[in-house]
Amino acid sequence: MLAYSLSKSPLPNSHSLFCVLPGNAITRSQSPVCPIDQSTNMVKGRFTVNPFQELALTPSDTGNLQDLANSILDANVARYEEFQTKEHGRVNLDNWKLVKSRDNTKVFSERHHGTNHVGPQVPQTSGKSSDLPSLLCIGTAVGEMEDMMFGVVNPTLEIMRIKASYVDDLSGAAVLANIVEPTLEDPFYSLVVKWMELDIPLHSTNLVKNRDYIYVESTGIVGLTNGERVGYHILHSVNFPQTHDLPGRVRANLSICGFFRQVRVNAVEIYVTGLMDFGGDILRMLVVPNMATAFLSTLKYAHCGQMKKLAWMLEKRYAEAKELGAPNREHICVTCSTPITSRRLGDFGKSSSTCKLCFGFVCHSCKISKKLSFVTPDLLLAQRKVTFCAVCVSEAMRAPASEAARAQILATGGGAKGMPYPSNASTASSLGSDYGSH
Contact 268, 260 (CB under 8 A): yes
Identify the bridge partners of residue 142 per DSSP, sorted by sequence position. Answer: 267
Map out the domains of the chain with their CATH numbers: 6-300 (3.30.530.20), 306-437 (no CATH)
Give me the pLDDT at residue 389, please: 96
Whether 76 has a pLDDT exceeding 90, the answer reads yes
Instruction: Give the ranges where 297-350 is alpha helix by DSSP (H).
Output: 301-324
Other CB atoms closer than 10 Å to residue 244's CB: what's the count? 13
Reported as a pLDDT band with limits 50, 70 and 90, residue 38 is: very low
420: which DSSP letter?
A: -
Cis bond upstream, residue 339 (ω within 30): no
Tell me what percent of the residues of the chain surpass a pLDDT of 90: 50
Nearest to 357 by CA among 332, 334, 389: 389
CA 187, 189, 193, 195 torsion: positive or negative?
A: positive
Nearest to 175 by CA among 243, 129, 247, 222: 243
Give me the pLDDT at residue 297, please: 92
Q: Which segments of 60-119 are extended strands (E)? A: 96-102, 105-110
* Angstrom distances, CA of residue 397 to CA of 194, 275, 308: 30, 34, 10
Rounded (10°) angle between helices 157-167 and 301-324: 120
93: which DSSP letter?
A: T
Reported as a pLDDT band with limits 50, 70 and 90, residue 415 is: low
Contact 193, 55 (CB under 8 A): yes
What is d(CA 313, CA 67) in angstroms, rounded to the nearest whole number? 37
Give me the pLDDT at residue 381, please: 85
Most confident of 29-38, 80-89, 371-380, 420-429: 80-89
pLDDT in tens, 210-243: 788 999 999 999 999 999 999 999 999 999 999 9
Kindly give the pairing relationship between strand 368-375 and strand 381-388.
antiparallel
Give me the pLDDT at residue 149, please: 98
User: Region 187-201: what's the mean pLDDT?
Assistant: 89
Query: Please, which residues have CB within 8 angstroms of residue 268's CB and are 6 or more apart in sequence?
Result: 140, 141, 142, 143, 144, 145, 147, 148, 260, 261, 262, 302
Reported as a pLDDT band with limits 50, 70 and 90, residue 53 is: confident
